[in-house]
Amino acid sequence: MVKDKPPEHPSKIPCQKARYRTETEWGALTRDEINLFDRDVVCKTYCSGETIFVEGDACKGLYFVEHGLVAVRKTEINGQSTIVRLAYQGDTLGYRPLLAKENHRATAEVINDTHICFINAKTMRHFLRSNPKLGMRFLEHTALALGQAEERMFQIAALSVRTRIIHLVVLLRDHYGTITSDGTLFVDLPMSQRDMADMIGARPESVSRALRDIQDDGLIHLSGHTVRVDRVDRLVEELHHH
């Protein structure tokens, strides 16, 4: 849900955490281009529940996730919606419509408070023309995303809700998991069960029940939004059977 808030005034101050950019596609930028980037970038912090852009919006440029978590969501006419992708720190949103010169085909919805750097389409196209490396980096990234999308498509199509939940927990482990000294894994689920349901193509009730079932089988232990996994191998093993 989008909360109605007075529009915040975007900051023109270049993000301080630009170091993240060097670890991503943006690492390909030259010094001059970085200056241009910093000149044109518009940064803004979004709170949980806000939308960055909405399905159907004109694509005005690229959104770089400096920090936070964003869900890319598609909504049907009848109101059903699915989260087709998550964007983490370092990810970039909106290059498909930018390249295709189309409108946005999905809504970007902030799950956790997120800091976004926006770079307008004109400048971005300039970068892509002048710096082939940048395009190559984006190509690699997009190819990777395509692989992940195909992976998820397969999961949604063929696996039970229970198994899809386990996949999701394992997926979220990369960004939201910590391992204690005794080997216990804790995953801090960053989203509601409703969002989890939208990610795996199921209903919230089914997610609730599946989580309980998995807990009853002793594979995980839930407290609030934190999942404790004592035996990660057992959890992963189940993915190989079902």
- Considering the complex, what minimum distance in angstroms separates the CB of residue 83 from a copy of itself? 9
What span, in angstroms and rounded, lies between the C-alpha atoms of 85 and 73? 7
Q: Which of residues 144-163 bind a copy of itself (CB under 8 A)?
A: 144-147, 149-154, 156-158
Interface region with a copy of itself, contact rule CB under 8 A, candidates 7-15, 80-88, 172-180, 211-219: 80-88
First to last CA, the chain: 34
Residue 194 binding target from DNA, a copy of itself, none, CB below 5 to 8 Å by type: DNA
What span, in angstroms and rounded, lies between the C-alpha atoms of 169 and 189? 8
170, with CB counted inside 10 A (0-12, 13-18, 19+), is middle
Name residue 190's amino acid. P
Residue 235 binding target from a copy of itself, DNA, none, CB below 5 to 8 Å by type: none
Among 67, 96, 126, 209, binds DNA (CB under 7 A): 209
Q: Are 212 and 230 spatial neighbours (Cβ–Cβ below 8 Å)?
A: no
Phi, psi angles (nearest 5°) of residue 161: -55, -45
Q: Which of residues 189-218 bind a copy of itself (CB under 8 A)?
A: 200-201
DSSP codes of every residue in 8-37: PPPB-SPPTTTHHHHTSGGGG--HHHHHHH
Is 41 one of the binding residues for a copy of itself (CB under 8 A)?
Answer: no
Q: Which of residues 54-73 bind DNA (CB under 7 A)?
A: none
What span, in angstroms and rounded, lies between the C-alpha atoms of 10 and 169? 34
What span, in angstroms and rounded, lies between the C-alpha atoms of 47 and 52? 10
Is 62 one of the binding residues for a copy of itself (CB under 8 A)?
Answer: no
- Considering the complex, what minimum distance in angstroms separates the CB of residue 162 from DNA? 6
Question: Which tokens in the block code for residue 97?
Answer: 């419509």
66 in helix, strand or coil? Answer: strand
116-155 footprint of DNA as x/- string (CB under 7 A): ----------------------------------------
Q: Which is nearer to DNA, 124 or 207 (CB)?
A: 207
Chain residues binding DNA by CB under 7 A are 1, 160-162, 192-194, 201-206, 208-212, 222, 225
Chain residues binding a copy of itself by CB under 8 A are 72, 74, 76-78, 80-82, 84-85, 95-96, 99-100, 105-106, 128, 132, 135-136, 138-140, 142-147, 149-154, 156-158, 200-201, 240-242
